[in-house]
Amino acid sequence: MPSPLVTPTPAVRTRDLSVNFGTGRVLDGITLHIEDGEAVALLGANGSGKTTLLKALLGLVPLEHGTAELYGVDVARRRLLPWDRVGYVPQRVGFTSGVPATAAEVVASGLLSNRRLRPVAQSRRRILAALEQVGLAGRAGERVHTFSGGQQQRVLMARALVRRPDVLLIDEPLAGLDVESRESLAGTLSALRRAGSTLLIVLHELGELEPVITRSVILQRGRMVHERVAVSSPDGQW
């Protein structure tokens, strides 16, 4: 007897999602499904709502209407969310605070979650592996504020990767990076996709990440106006 057909829970799902800032509507009626293993680019002009959508998916901004789910759990139910499966890379963090912090200390933050207020066992090994993954091997003990902008961005990527997430939400990873850093990042993301990770990446343009992306979603003034599956086979895999 054939086994019943089971529809896998999508990594990300929104239904008619709307977000207001003050009296202005920033996102309006966004319905989006991202299956496991997809690499989706969220494109649009400045102020189109890309970053706000990313933050809404993480429960960082309140929803005015609709729902957002990560692996089938409503983001409003923060305690029940599978935080260990989710990685987040913000656009930029100012590492200019007077208190010095090493790359290892910053990356260690990625090991924490609602059920884990201290890093797990084997954390040191995982931190070093994550830094190696982004091309910063051997720099764990260096102060982050002495790093270049591109290197700091890689530290933020390592901070998300150290969680070993199933889905990675990345905000404008190419912004302000030189060619070398952009290519390095494209290599890292390509490897993640080959390993089966789900990616949702906010971008102004596909640029070096075009071979990684399987689908593009375009936002305009808070609305989804276009959705396009990549024509070329990403990474030559299909």
State the minimum distance, in angstroms, from the CB of residue 231 to another protein.
33
Strand order of the sheet with strand 223-229? 86-89, 167-171, 198-203, 39-44, 215-220, 223-229
How far apart CA 93 and CA 168 sit, in angstroms, is 17
Determine the Cα angle at 171 with ends 168 and 174, to 5°: 110
Question: Does an H or E element contain 13, and which?
Answer: strand 12-21
- Strands 73-74, 86-89: pairing is unpaired
Measured from the CB atom, the residue of 20 and 220 that comes closer to another protein is 20
Q: Does 100 engage in binding with another protein (CB under 8 A)?
A: yes
Shortest distance, CB of residue 200 to another protein, whole angstroms?
13
**Cβ 176 to another protein shortest distance, Å:** 18
Alpha helices in 82-205 (DSSP H): 103-108, 123-133, 149-161, 179-194
118 lies in the binding site for another protein (CB under 8 A): yes
Is residue 113 a contact point for another protein (CB under 8 A)? yes
Half-sphere exposure of 150 (CA within 13 A, CB side): 15
Nearest distance, CB of residue 91 and another protein, angstroms: 10
Residue closer to another protein, measured from CB, 111 or 234: 111
Q: Applying CB under 8 A, does 142 fall inside the site for another protein?
A: yes
Minimum CB distance to another protein smaller for 120 or for 225: 120
Position 127 contacts another protein (CB under 8 A): yes
Using CA atoms, how far residue 45 sits from 48, 153, 210, 223, in Å, is 6, 22, 17, 12
**Bridge partners, 199 (sequence order):** 39, 168
Q: Footprint of another protein on residues 42-81 (CB under 8 A)?
A: 55, 58-60, 78, 81
* Residue 178 tokens, joined: 């030189």
Minimum CB separation of residue 90 from another protein in Å reads: 6
Tokens of 114: 């609602």
Nearer to another protein, 3 or 96 (CB): 96
Q: Which residue, 71 or 83, is less far from another protein as judged by CB?
A: 83
Angstrom distance (rounded) from CA 218 to CA 91? 19
Dist. CA 145–CA 28, nearest whole Å: 38
97 or 233, CB closer to another protein? 97
**2, 22, 24, 141: residue in contact with another protein (rule CB under 8 A):** 141
Applying CB under 8 A, which residues contact another protein?
55, 58-60, 78, 81, 83, 86, 88, 90, 93, 97-102, 104-106, 108-115, 117-119, 123-124, 127-128, 138-143, 159, 163
